């Protein structure tokens, strides 16, 4: 892809530096390196690639939840974020095509009578989910009978669940599986209740947003076609997800 012309570049990055919002709420995509104390992960790799292509300095601004990351891009505090494609967020955010797909799943206690995803949306069930996460937004739209109980963030879901909140935990399949290893007597319901498409998002308020988005979309398509995304997934040990088509 060719670089953005100067007027679009200044609209995209008004401070002259690419400010990237990184969400630590989804460890499949980003986490804090315990040695360097800097963010690492597939989203960091993609952001660095884009900054290098545009010859921009880059700064990472880290958040603990997807909701906080979304608010930052809506307010203009960051220029680019990595979030799940969602129609509610789409009112303020322009998305590229997805670069990765992640499964959402349910976790229950071993003694639970629930055996399949279709059992969950019943009046007596209470689903614990990270506030403002893609799962929260999806379940808010789709759940008709069960009750949603919102944890402060996705990382707190299983701990809240084990402390007695709700009877179903919802979230990233791999994170639930990892968290469940800290406790005895938990099991995943088979399959998934949703597939989440993760993409780059930029503020719709930027002048020339359609052309900026077209540029970033082209970069994402090239990174998928070249194997960059797949290699980043391997490097960061991302399992249970796949490169988006």
Q: Report CA-CA distances (Å) from 59 to 20, 28, 106, 220.
A: 6, 21, 35, 20
188-214 burial, b for 16+ CB within 10 Å, e for fewer? ebeebbbebbbbbbbbbebebbebbbb
Residues 159 and 75 in one domain: no
Asked, for residue 1, whether it belongs to a domain, the answer is: no
Residues 190 and 105 in one domain: yes
Domain end marker among 179, 194, 209: 194
Asked, for residue 21, whether it belongs to a domain, the answer is: yes
Output the domain CATH number for residue 151: 3.40.190.10
Domain extent at residue 222: 6-100+198-243
pLDDT confidence of 52, banded at 50, 70, 90?
very high
**How many domains does one find in the chain?**
2
Q: Say what the pLDDT of residue 108 is.
A: 97
Q: Is the pLDDT of residue 112 over 80?
A: yes
Residues 190 and 202 in one domain: no
Residues 132 and 161 in one domain: yes
At 181-206, the pLDDT tens digits run 889 999 999 999 999 899 999 999 99
Residues 186 and 66 in one domain: no
Element (H, E) at 201: strand 194-203
Mean pLDDT score of the chain:
93
Report the SS3 class of residue 9.
Answer: helix
At 149-165, the pLDDT tens digits run 999 988 899 999 999 99
Residues 232 and 162 in one domain: no
Asked, for residue 132, whether it belongs to a domain, the answer is: yes
Say which range, 50-54, 70-74, 86-90, 211-215, has the weakest mean pLDDT.
86-90
Q: Say what the pLDDT of residue 223 is.
A: 97
Dihedral sign, Cα of residue 70, residue 75, residue 79, residue 85: positive
Residues 40 and 53 in one domain: yes
Report the SS3 class of residue 31.
Answer: strand
At 34-43, the pLDDT tens digits run 899 999 999 9
d(CA 17, CA 48): 12
Element (H, E) at 49: helix 42-54
Q: Say what the pLDDT of residue 38 is.
A: 94
Its pTM stands at 0.78
């Amino acid at each position: 892809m060719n670089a953005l012309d100067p007027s679009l570049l200044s609209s995209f990055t008004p401070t002259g530096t690419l400010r990237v919002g990184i969400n630590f709420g989804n460890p499949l995509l980003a986490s804090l390196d315990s040695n360097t104390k800097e963010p690492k992960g597939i989203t960091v790799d993609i952001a660095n690639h884009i900054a290098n292509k545009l010859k921009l300095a880059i700064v990472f601004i880290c958040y603990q939840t997807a909701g906080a990351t979304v608010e930052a891009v809506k307010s203009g505090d960051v220029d680019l974020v990595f979030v799940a494609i969602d129609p509610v967020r789409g009112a303020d955010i322009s998305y590229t095509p997805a670069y990765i797909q992640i499964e959402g799943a349910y976790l229950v206690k071993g003694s639970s009578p629930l055996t399949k995803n279709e059992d969950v949306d019943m009046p007596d069930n209470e689903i614990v989910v990270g506030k403002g996460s893609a799962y929260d937004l999806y379940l808010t739209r789709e759940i008709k009978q069960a009750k949603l109980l919102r944890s402060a963030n996705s990382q707190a879901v299983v701990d809240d669940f084990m402390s007695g909140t709700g009877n179903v935990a919802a979230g990233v399949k791999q994170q639930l599986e990892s968290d469940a290893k800290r406790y005895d007597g938990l099991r995943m319901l088979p399959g998934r209740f949703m597939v989440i498409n993760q993409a780059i998002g930029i503020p719709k308020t930027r002048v020339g947003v359609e052309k900026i988005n077209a540029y970033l979309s082209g970069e994402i398509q090239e990174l998928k076609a070249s194997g960059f995304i797949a290699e980043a997934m391997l490097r960061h040990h991302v399992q249970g997800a796949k490169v988006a088509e």
